[in-house]
Amino acid sequence: MENLNMSELKAVASRCSQYSPMGGNQFTSSAGQNEESCSKCEHYENSKCTLDLIDQIKSNMQ
Ligand code: SF4
């Protein structure tokens, strides 16, 4: 699978129903860094989605 850049990872995560931020505690920072991204998702390992949803979501985006 091709590597995705940060904006693609954000676009995918914002459309993903399985997005699950790592760490568990979703505290909102005052800096407003609350963006969704696959890189923050617990299903994202070794630059890919362990649920194999990235390709599906990407193809739905086109
Ligand atoms: S890593 Fe997978 S499960 Fe997580 S947001 Fe991205 S596509 Fe969805």
Centre of ligand 1 from the C-alpha of residue 18, in Å: 6
Alpha carbon separation from 55 to 12, 13, 34 (Å, rounded): 9, 12, 24
Confirm or reject: Cβ of 11 under 6 Å from ligand 1. Answer: no
Centre of ligand 1 from the C-alpha of residue 42, in Å: 8
Confirm or reject: Cβ of 16 under 6 Å from ligand 1. Answer: yes
Average confidence (pLDDT) over 30-56: 87
Ligand 1 atom nearest the C-alpha of 48 is 1
What's the 3-state SS for 22-59? CCCCCCCCCCCCCCCCHHHECCEECCEECCCCHHHHHH
Model confidence over 12-34: pLDDT tens digits?
A: 999 999 999 987 555 554 444 56
In this predicted structure, what is the pLDDT of residue 25?
A: 56
